Amino acid sequence: MSILKTLFVATRLLLTSHGVHANTALNNANEDDVDTLVSNLIQWVRDNGGYVNDKIDFRPIEPEDPASPRGVFAKQEIDAGETLAHIPWDLIIKSPERTKGEVEGLSKDDCGVIQETIKVMTASDGNITPYGRYLLSQPQNYTVGFWSKKGQDLFVEMTDNFLPPNGIKDMLGEEFEDICDGDVNDPMTVQAVMLVRARSDWEYLVPVYDMFNHHNGKYNIELRVNPYKSSIKETGYEIIAGRQLQPEEQLYNSYNRCGNCDVWYDWFGTPEIYLNFGFVESFPQRWLFDLARVKVDLLEDSNGQVSVKFLVPPSKKGVDMLRHQLVRLNGLSFRYQSKSAVDIGIRSVEWDSLWQYYDALHAALTYVTSANETLVDDVWIMDDNWWVQEGTTRAEEDEHWVRTTARDEL
């Protein structure tokens, strides 16, 4: 089971593109506007032994437009290595086993952090923390694994069980229901599962750290102590500037290429970011089309020109499969072009998000199939590790969602 980090941008995008505010919350966060929720949260961190640097600002990306997505910004120059925030151990949501200092392995940890998140979100009015209120204010079911049945069916029609991401049904069903014995009919429980998936750093849900947006081209923050390499009971999470930051610069994390992203490093790309966090990342993007045995990075130069970097030499067979998918996608958008969310009977969050992903997928397939690259068949005689490149994951380990395909006979 794999869970990680944050979603601040996408959350706000979904909130704002439909003019809804915190009133999508399940209960008592209704009246709080986002600014109040965020400033209460920061005050709470400071009041409880934590630190948030005065030189950073949590604000809408377009200062003139309070409804624009939010991000974390430098207010003035910040030196490389300077501490941006420190979140003490006690404020981090984690499983009871972790709290006691035991390491129980994935399922207990992952189920535990979800159970604890439910407690934080359902605390009574007098006991709820600013972080609990903040989590409650997040929109519901915005990642595809948590959509309605109709929304998911349309998504599967789009990906044809061929194109990534894989495993949308596992996000809630298989893992939470089967492994954690969770109640998938309770909306608050479902919301907690989704928020942990979309915002947590594996087994830790860390306030403030979960508010930095993702950008692999502009990643400029780091953790002082890697929480997976040493105990963080004494240190908590200390977020530092990865390099010198200029005034007005946005501070970015990387949700899949960070110093502690290990098992996600190699295979986890744009589709998987979309699956887990609910947004389409900017360039650079990575696409792993497992059934076609095609793996690429899409890079953008300073003029906005996108180029394709094949990470494994592509084959004619694979590129033909993707060309077929591109034609199929054109047919799909043609069939739905005059339809709306209402016609299909799904929420507009699902509809808008689906077409946002469609555009990214369509563009990626267009880049890949029109690239002027020499085609060779070698990838089809390689074993299941054909896609493993720089990372720590291998095909036989189950920390990835890369489907295996038959090798061609020699």
Q: Does 348 bind ligand NAG (CB under 6 A)?
A: no
Q: Does 63 bind ligand NAG (CB under 6 A)?
A: no
Cβ nearer to ligand NAG, comparing 35 with 378: 378
239 bridge partner residues: 85, 223
Stretch that binds ligand NAG, among 120-128, 138-146, 255-263, 333-341 (CB under 6 A): 138-146
Interaction residues for ligand NAG, span 144-163 (CB under 6 A):
146
Cβ nearer to ligand NAG, comparing 225 with 344: 344
CB 374, min distance to ligand NAG, A: 7
170 closest CA partner among 140, 144, 205, 201: 144
Tokens representing 233 are 């009971």
* Dist. CA 152–CA 354, nearest whole Å: 9
Cβ nearer to ligand NAG, comparing 338 with 372: 372
Q: Does 190 bind ligand NAG (CB under 6 A)?
A: yes
Tokens representing 388 are 């493993």
Tokens representing 66 are 């309070």
Please give the size of the binding site for ligand NAG, defined by CB under 6 A.
6
Cβ nearer to ligand NAG, comparing 163 with 349: 349
Stretch that binds ligand NAG, among 45-53, 140-148, 200-208, 209-217 (CB under 6 A): 140-148
Tokens representing 400 are 């990835």
CB 134, min distance to ligand NAG, A: 18
Cβ nearer to ligand NAG, comparing 177 with 297: 177
Residue 339 in contact with residue 354, Cβ under 8 Å? no
Question: Ramachandran region of residue 199, left (φ > 0), alpha (ψ -120 to 50) or beta?
Answer: alpha
Measured between alpha carbons, how far is residue 74 from residues 69, 238, 251 in Å? 16, 17, 7
Answer for which of 246, 303, 305, 372 binds ligand NAG (CB under 6 A) is 372
Q: Is 299 exposed, middle or buried (0-12, 13-18, 19+ CB in 10 A)?
A: middle
Q: Does 124 bind ligand NAG (CB under 6 A)?
A: no
CB 139, min distance to ligand NAG, A: 8
Residue 340 in contact with residue 334, Cβ under 8 Å? no
Q: What phi and psi, each to the nearest 5 degrees, are found at residue 168?
A: -65, -30
Q: Does 140 bind ligand NAG (CB under 6 A)?
A: yes
DSSP 156-195: HHHHTTTSSPP-GGGTTIIIIIIIH---TT-HHHHHHHHH
CB 115, min distance to ligand NAG, A: 17
Tokens representing 84 are 């941006």
Q: Does 173 bind ligand NAG (CB under 6 A)?
A: no
CB 346, min distance to ligand NAG, A: 10
Answer for which of 187, 217, 247, 259 binds ligand NAG (CB under 6 A) is 187
Q: Does 141 bind ligand NAG (CB under 6 A)?
A: yes
- Which residue, chain included where needed, has tokens 């030499």? 313
Interface with ligand NAG (CB under 6 A): 140-141, 146, 187, 190, 372
